[in-house]
Amino acid sequence: MTTIGNQPKRRSWRRLLITLFSAGLLWQSQAIAATDFDYQFDYQEVQVDELQAAMADGQLNAEAIVRHYYQQIAQHNQRGADLRAVNQLLPLEQALALARDLDAERDNGTVRGPLHGIPVLLKDNIDTADGLPNTAGSLLLKEHFPAQDAFLVERLRDAGAIIIGKANLSEWANFRSTASSSGWSSVGGQTKNPFDTTRSTCGSSAGSAAAVSANFIPLAVGTETDGSLVCPAAVTGIVTIKPTIGLISRSGIIPISHSQDTAGPMARSVRDAVYLLAAMQGKDAADSAGYAVDTDFTAHLKDDGLRGKRIGVMRDLTGYHAGLDAVFDAQLEALRNAGAIIVDDIEFVNGRGWGQDEFTVLLHEFKADMAAYFAQHPQSPYRSLADLIAANEAQADSIMPFFGQELFTMADARSEAQQEEYEAALKRAKQAAGVDGIDATLKAHKLDLLIAPTTAPAWKIDLINGDHYLGSASSPAAVAGYPHITVPMGFVQHLPVGLSFFAGANSEATLIEAAYGFEQVTQARKAPPLMPRDH
């Protein structure tokens, strides 16, 4: 007999091997003790507050919670549903040691906050100094061991979160090829959607989204440049918050673009996403855009958060999928019933003229920002994008079996002679999406926020032709650097779809109120079946 909290528990031990690097790399193997407790605690769709309550009354402790999620990952990451959502885990005993330390703190009367003892996965492009490589999904970085935690990782550890491992992603955050399959990496293989394993997770925070949706983990961190948080969240039926650029530090994250990159929380509820956002946010002196706020975001989790808000329905971000539009239109009545003032048939007052300029910015900054990242990691054998291109070519059979590196070569072709062109493109893009886009549209119609369907239902995974991408609401807020929240709003047949809420810079509090209010009246999130589909 062993004791968890004050309750005696029986343990039936099984040995389960967790494979940590797929697609030809020898994954680290470890024996996982899968524990069958004789209590009735139900982890399915569990929320952070429920885990905290169970730990407070002795029904659970952090050690038991960690064991449970390791078992879930062992059962369905490369077995069962075979989601390929997790690239690597800490050795179990290392994770349990962290959990025991936090349990001891709790026993001594210290609880750091809502994340105390809660396991978290990080997207595999975020630095940790715990012995896990930061791979960006590429076999080139399988031996890339950062010397220090990213700033956001320090914040999470201070909040009591237990970072247990890294989630799969679209390799290089989906900025390697124009013909990529979202969620595929040479490290982790193809991430699959837990609602239908023949379908995409979108990208690039594919594994973070799939792991949260499949109940592999309560919380995960993803990153976005344009759509890499909100698209995976929408098609896997979870919540994410893409914050204003600088609210969460960008230090220690393998980059694409310093003008648009940000990390963000991924969770099964708005409340849990807010807990994770609050823990990660904070001013980092090493981040030129970093800032801190005194806002208590949890105070904006209001059941009546929609009441009185003037909401613009962005019709120029619809029309690419009839089923999606039908679900979206049906939810407008739910918004009205919750007290929102709906202003329909809104379009951007100055159009959407930022697309080509955004692409120029991403290409130009990617080359420079990758070099800057490697300069901070002198142990890396790579110093530049050119080094990566050459290494990819040398290992093409394992790294590029399905698609190439066109975006790498286009970015590497950028030169200092194009600096003025880049600066002009950056200024135009920010102006078009921000001041002349979101800001002007809010002002013209006296609105508090804008809404649109986040993106179409998940498409079939296609490693030959790449993604079948129809449309999205991600770009305006991404290019402007403004916040964007997506919340599950329903289903098109068996596939979840999301509702996007976005507004001007530093409008997180307003968006949280609206998103939480919508979530409370709709409760559209459903757990996936976690079984492969044969169609």
Does the active-site annotation cover 384?
A: no
Distance CA 274, CA 267 (A): 9
Which CATH architecture best describes the domain 2-419+423-522? Alpha-Beta Complex (3.90)
Fill in the DSSP letter of residue 474. Answer: -
Find the catalytic residue in 170, 177, 205, 228. 228
Distance CA 52, CA 305 (A): 25
Distance CA 83, CA 197 (A): 7
Find the catalytic residue in 123, 192, 309, 430. 123
* Burial status of residue 16 (CB atoms within 10 A of its CB: 0-12, 13-18, 19 or more): middle
Provide the 3-class DSSP secondary structure of residue 533.
coil
Fill in the DSSP letter of residue 431. Answer: I
Within a 10 A sphere around the Cβ of 319, how many other Cβ atoms? 12
The candidate with the shortest Cα–Cα distance to 139, out of 21, 38, 35, is: 21
Find the catalytic residue in 22, 181, 185, 204. 204
Alpha helices by DSSP H, 179-285: 206-213, 230-236, 270-280
Per-domain residue ranges of the chain? 2-419+423-522
Does the active-site annotation cover 228?
A: yes
Within a 10 A sphere around the Cβ of 145, how many other Cβ atoms? 17
∠ CA 468-470-342, rounded to 5°: 150
Provide the 3-class DSSP secondary structure of residue 182.
coil
pLDDT per residue of the chain (535 residues) written in tens, 0 to 9: 222 232 323 222 222 323 333 333 333 334 444 444 435 789 999 999 999 999 999 999 999 999 999 999 999 999 999 999 999 999 999 999 999 999 999 999 999 999 999 999 999 999 999 999 999 999 999 999 999 999 999 999 999 999 999 999 999 999 999 999 999 999 999 999 999 999 999 999 999 999 999 999 999 999 999 999 999 999 999 999 999 999 999 999 999 999 999 999 999 999 999 999 999 999 999 999 999 999 999 999 999 999 999 999 999 999 999 999 999 999 999 999 999 999 999 999 999 999 999 999 999 999 999 999 999 999 999 999 999 999 999 999 999 999 999 999 999 999 999 999 999 999 999 999 999 999 999 999 999 999 999 999 999 999 999 999 999 999 999 999 999 999 999 999 999 999 999 999 999 999 999 999 999 999 999 999 987 665 4
For residues 350 and 476, is the Cβ–Cβ distance under 8 A? no
Does the active-site annotation cover 380?
A: no
Provide the 3-class DSSP secondary structure of residue 479.
helix
For residues 232 and 207, is the Cβ–Cβ distance under 8 A? no
> What token pair was written down for 487?
């919340």
H/E element holding 355? helix 355-375
Distances, alpha carbon 405 to alpha carbons 63, 364, 385, 396, in Å: 43, 16, 11, 10
Beta bridge partners of residue 491, listed in sequence order: 496
